[in-house]
Amino acid sequence: MLTESPLSTAERAAIDTVPRGLFIDGEWRATARSLPVVDPATGELLCSVADADPADGLAALDSACTAQPNWARTPPRERSDLLMRVHRALLAETERLGLIATLEMGKPLAEARGEIAYAAEFFRWFAEEAVRLDGGYLPAPTGGSRFLVTRQPVGPSLLITPWNFPMAMGARKIAPALAAGCTCVVKPAEQTPLSMLALAETMAAAGLPAGVVNVITTADPAAVMTPLIRDQRSRKLSFTGSTAVGKQLLAHCAQTVMRTSMELGGNAPLLVFDDADLDEAVEGALAAKMRNIGQACTAANRILVQRGVADVFARRLADRMAALPMGRGTEPNVVVGPLIDADAVAKVQRLVDDARARGATVLIGGTALDGPGTFYPATVLVDVPDDADMCHTEIFGPVAAIGVFDTEDEAVGRANDTPYGLVSYVFTENLRRGLRVCEALETGMVGLNQGVVSNPAAPFGGVKESGLGREGGLTGIDEFLETKYIGVKL
């Protein structure tokens, strides 16, 4: 039995602003069942929200399908204006929305504020793209007709978002869908539903037509979402989550040949060459490892350092990570908040114990903390062998695993020795080497001398088992558009 978390007046006020129902056809609907939302910093109850069943899911899809024709016909400028209103509203509510994200997910408040700004920027970026959808007109090579090429919305879209960036990952999917003229059903992660419910309320207040965006929260996503995925009326699925779940969803989508975008797991290598600026490399590694407490698909999972600078780099990184304040995300100056739940802590501990058993040495951290909340300390391991489980599994925690390499070819070969290919990081002051290595790495994104690559104006996505399609950038809206050719006889 969960006890209610003793929140401050400001914290309780922020939580109480969030609607607790399902958002279907522009209305908030109660359900017979409820879904508890837990504060990972205390293990106590924040509140409960509606828990949808399969009938609720179908009602949400019905609403999206009914709204689709009118939304597709809405002038691009009107769609753009709506997205800009949402952009401004999110920025105006940064403090409240950031606090909500911190309370339900655990990330430090400074990072939560950054996430709200990041989410808002997706709405601004795709507001600008909504009025720039292009097409084509050209003569047939053989004469006698013309080719008219236009792009139209894919149609009702299913959007499934993860718990680690509960506001931004929704914005990254909803904004291009709406800009393209698609309606949608959004299913947020059951651990962090409040941010998405708050976003739905924000969009409604900005003038969102009924049925264009529907949000369903549920403790049984497979039962609720599988019928929607197999429904012929659903024409697009965008999913962010694990590769294992992504593969299951792709199998369901194959039944109706549904368009898919998949942002799946990663195993990011971070390469530090002996000619790197070590101060820059340490700070870059810290950013790539510790963003969101290490709970990011873009987190540096394998840090490979050239032998000549490996010891110095490891000690500097350990000193920096040891100095990071840990605590509840609402506390001043905290950088290391709690992990999402007890299962996450157990997974990280298992990976650390396995690496130690295989010969790795722990420089700092390495043992889960006792007491309330799901905290794990910042940890640095050196001499981590390639056969350690953490070299093949997303750690998803504040653990830096450092190995050593000798040559450029060795570094690239070990970096690519994984079925995943989301992002890589490279630190070197040699431009030629930097370009060679970036081009040789089998990933969808590379950070060259920087530890953060995510930007709404850039295409985000991976190769191999890290996913399909791209989110953000000039190509992000393409995922929600079909190309139609019309032959015109003269």
Please give the positions annotated as active site: 263, 297
Of the candidates 455, 460, 430, the one whose C-alpha atom is nearest the C-alpha of residue 445 is 460
Of the candidates 132, 99, 121, the one whose C-alpha atom is nearest the C-alpha of residue 7 is 99
Of the candidates 86, 109, 83, the one whose C-alpha atom is nearest the C-alpha of residue 96 is 109
Asked if residue 377 lies in contact with residue 369, where contact means CB atoms within 8 angstroms, the answer is yes
User: Distance (Å, rounded) from C-alpha 99 to C-alpha 78?
Assistant: 31
Asked if residue 219 lies in contact with residue 51, where contact means CB atoms within 8 angstroms, the answer is yes
User: Distance (Å, rounded) from C-alpha 190 to C-alpha 196?
Assistant: 11
DSSP for 400-437, written as a single string: EEEEEE-SHHHHHHHHH-SSEESEEEEE-S-HHHHHHH
Both tokens assigned to 182: 């698609």
User: Distance (Å, rounded) from C-alpha 382 to C-alpha 358?
Assistant: 12
141: helix, strand or coil: coil
Asked if residue 194 lies in contact with residue 100, where contact means CB atoms within 8 angstroms, the answer is yes
Asked if residue 86 lies in contact with residue 80, where contact means CB atoms within 8 angstroms, the answer is no
User: Distance (Å, rounded) from C-alpha 370 to C-alpha 361?
Assistant: 22
User: Distance (Å, rounded) from C-alpha 355 to C-alpha 381?
Assistant: 8
239: helix, strand or coil: strand
Of the candidates 273, 240, 294, 258, the one whose C-alpha atom is nearest the C-alpha of residue 466 is 240
CA-only gyration radius of the chain, Å? 23
Residues in the chain, total: 490
Percent helix, percent strand, percent coil in the chain, to nearest 5: 40, 20, 35
Which residues, listed in sequence order, are joined to residue 38 by a DSSP beta bridge? 45
The phi-psi region of residue 472 (left if phi > 0; otherwise alpha if psi is between -120 and 50; otherwise beta) is: left
Sign of CA dihedral 191, 197, 202, 208: positive
